[in-house]
Amino acid sequence: MIRNVDPELIDPEVIERTAFIYKGKLLTAEEVKELFEEEHETELDHRISNMDKREMITVCCAAVRKYPLEYLQVIAEYIMELIKDSRKGRKK
């Protein structure tokens, strides 16, 4: 059931955030899949592979501040992948 809602009753910030998501600011499913499947041989990938925990956390903090929704999206996709893999393990 769809009800008419007075637009003045909705917080403008909620409308703005919803518009942000609808405009495609988040990563597409294909982009996330590529992140997990492709092995990029870039200088950044090489540097990341040699980082210690403190350096990696610093990179994560910067990513959270600059791209918070995308960061959470990547984490959620990874968690879903872990759950899927753990369920496959139980079936074996």
Domain assignment present for residue 43? The answer is yes
- Mean residue pLDDT of the chain comes to 76
User: What is the predicted pLDDT for the residue at 36?
Assistant: 67
User: What is the predicted pLDDT for the residue at 65?
Assistant: 92
Domain assignment present for residue 10? The answer is no
Domain assignment present for residue 63? The answer is yes
Q: How far is CA 86 from CA 5, 34, 81, 89, in A?
A: 43, 21, 9, 5
Q: Which of 19-33, 59-73, 74-88 has the lowest mean pLDDT?
A: 19-33
Domain assignment present for residue 5? The answer is no
User: What is the predicted pLDDT for the residue at 6?
Assistant: 67
Domain assignment present for residue 15? The answer is no
Could you tell me the two tokens for 2? Answer: 């769809």
- How many domains does the chain divide into? 1
Enter the DSSP assignment of 38.
-
Q: Which domain holds residue 85?
A: 27-91
21 versus 49: which is more confidently predicted?
Answer: 49
Tell me: the pLDDT tens digits for 30-64? Answer: 777 777 666 656 677 777 888 899 998 998 999 99
- How many CA atoms, within 13 angstroms, populate the side-chain half-sphere of residue 47? 6
CA distance 51 to 48: 5
Is 4 in a helix, a strand, or coil? coil
Domain assignment present for residue 64? The answer is yes
Domain assignment present for residue 84? The answer is yes
